[in-house]
Amino acid sequence: MTDLSMMGAAELAEGYRSGDLSPVEATQAALDAISEHDEAVNAYVLVDSEGALSAAAESEKRWRGNSPLGPADGIPTAIKDILITEGWPTLRGSNLIAAEGDWSEDAPSVARLREAGCVLLGKTTTPEFAWKGVTDSIRQGVTTNPWGADLTSGGSSGGSATAVGLGMGTWSVGTDGGGSVRIPASFTGTTALKPTYGLIPHYPASPFGTLSHAGPMTRSVRDAAAMLDLLTGFDARDWSAMPTPTSSFLEGLDDGVEGLRIAFSPNLGFVRNDPEVEQAVRAAVQVLVDAGAVVEEIDPGFADPVEAFHVLWFAGAAKVLESYPEGSLDRIDPGLRRCVEQGRELSASDFLDATAVRMDLGLKMAQLHERYDVLVTPTMPIAAFPGGQPSPDGWDSDLWTSWTPYTYPFNMTQQPALSVPCGFTSDERPVGLQVVGRRHADALVLRAGRAYEQRTDWASRVPTLIRNAENGRS
């Protein structure tokens, strides 16, 4: 029998509907996976076993009474510890936040999951205030990877990616201000979508402003589409929230890519990839060609926007600290402190200049999508490196943007961007393929990712830590 903890949401729902499975069994399987693996990977900062099992029992009653709240009723779910959650502290990886407080409100995405009957297991790790592309913090330590407890999970939603990858929750909701769901998805062999900005409401507003998105983190594109259906409900607390979609993202998901016009950029014109990453991504593109897509290798025609991104990001970092008392700089991650200090030196003119770069990049991408339906790139130029490090061994910079050149440009443009697993290095570290679409073309991005997923088995590969645990029990 398939391990319940590694079943997808659709499989679980079908089992609940038929009576062959129960939400209590699935929740217990997720909790058992947490007990087995989390000491090695440190993906959770809070686990509410009692609350989860109680919610699962209520879900089971609804399914037995043929009155589920929907297809996600009873699905074990993890929440990134950036998103406020009623009844649980949201510490954001920081010593500046006290666990005692008025935790009486859900973020919009959490509220939608709770309304759908999802079983909330607990909160997952994040670097302090989600500021960087690896997941470690002074308060909560280092989070590592399903494919090696010595490897980084990536970040900033690394706890969620690792939890999902190890069956410690069927899916999770993360946040992405510069790659924070896609970086760890690539590193952990999982799937994640940064949707069009505003599609998933976000509250309280991120200090990183309109760079920051919430997004589904799953083990399959199908689950990402199903979860997106739940997360997109309008919420008036977000002034920039889009209306609730009138159709499901599952509609047309399996329509394939025959005739789809795909631009493939192996390096965006300015990136150097690890050779094994490039090999895996080129092989993935050939799968799309074989599926009937019309693929053209291109240079998208823009320079690295990293300096403009830094202005926007550092300004946000400085904003983070505004509400905390004097002396707080001495109590935060030293890397975050440097960003805050640089952000405090920026002028309004600097910010407007960076915004102009952002607008020009958005225009270039809009023009590209007049010719191509989607753009395909590597998600990351490298595979996971050792945990607890800010960058790979021998790298020329410790700033996370120096090794994430494929992700932050599309936060600046607010486009949907999906990461799906597309292979492994020779030492079994996952590689990710990124699919980017025009703004509001989330369904098309998911469809392209699904077409690739259906023709490969990367998403179903069993992580090293699970195999090792099974061998230890045999």
What is the β-pairing status of strands 191-194 and 171-176?
Answer: unpaired
Cα 49 to Cα 122: distance, rounded to the nearest angstrom: 8
Cis amide linkage into residue 204, ω under 30° from 0: yes
The reported pLDDT for the residue numbered 2 is 64
Q: Are 144 and 41 in contact (CB under 8 A)?
A: yes
Q: 11-20: long-range contacts (C-beta < 8 A, 24 or more apart)?
A: 12/74, 12/75, 12/170, 13/71, 13/72, 13/73, 13/74, 13/75, 16/59, 16/60, 16/63, 16/68, 16/73, 16/74, 17/63, 17/68, 19/63, 19/64
Number of neighbours of residue 424 by Cβ within 10 angstroms: 17
**Could you list the active site residues?**
80, 156, 180
Provide the strand spans (E) within 178-297.
191-194, 213-218, 261-264, 294-297
Report the candidate in 180, 232, 194 with the shortest Cα–Cα distance to residue 417. Answer: 194
**Spatial CA neighbour of 379 closest among 431, 430, 302, 415:** 431
Q: How many distinct structural domains can be found in the chain?
A: 1
Residue 114 CA: distances (Å) to CA of 73, 109, 120, 211, 250:
9, 9, 8, 26, 20
Nearest to 172 by CA among 302, 277, 359, 30: 30
> Residue holding tokens 């939890």?
163
Look at residue 306 in the predicted model and tell me its pLDDT: 98
- C-alpha 448/C-alpha 444 separation (Å) is 6
Q: What pTM does this model have?
A: 0.98
Q: DSSP 3-state assignment of 10?
A: helix
Give residue 1's pLDDT: 40
Name the residue among 441, 377, 433 with its Cα closest to residue 409. 377
The two three-digit tokens of residue 161, written as one number: 């990616």
E strand or H helix at 237, and its extent? none
Domain that holds residue 283: 4-473
Write the DSSP symbol of residue 211: G
Contacts for 367-370: CB closer than 8 Å, 24+ residues apart: 368/263, 368/300, 368/301, 369/437, 369/438, 369/441
Please report, for the domain that includes residue 57, its CATH number: 3.90.1300.10
Output DSSP code: residue 308. H
Q: What are the strands, taking DSSP E only, across 363-416?
A: 374-378
pLDDT at 156: 98
From first to last of its 474 residues, what are the pLDDT tens digits of the chain?
468 999 999 999 999 999 999 999 999 999 999 999 999 999 999 999 999 999 999 999 999 999 999 999 999 999 999 999 999 999 999 999 999 989 999 999 999 999 999 999 999 999 999 999 999 999 999 999 999 999 999 999 999 999 999 999 999 999 999 999 999 999 999 999 999 999 999 999 999 999 999 999 999 999 999 999 999 999 999 999 999 999 999 999 999 999 999 999 999 999 999 999 999 999 999 999 999 999 999 999 999 999 999 999 999 999 999 989 999 999 999 999 999 999 999 999 999 999 999 999 999 999 999 999 999 999 999 999 999 999 999 999 999 999 999 999 999 999 999 999 999 999 999 999 999 999 999 999 999 999 999 999 999 999 999 999 999 887
Number of other residues whose CB lies within 10 A of the CB of residue 319: 16
pLDDT at 473: 81
- As a whole number of angstroms, the distance between CA 416 and CA 95 comes to 33
Rg, the chain, Cα only = 21
Buried b (16+ CB within 10 A) or exposed e, 269-296: eebebbebbbebbbebbebbeebebebe
Give 434's strand partners.
377, 419
What are the CA-CA distances from residue 272 to residues 11, 216, 269, 378 (Å)? 40, 29, 9, 11
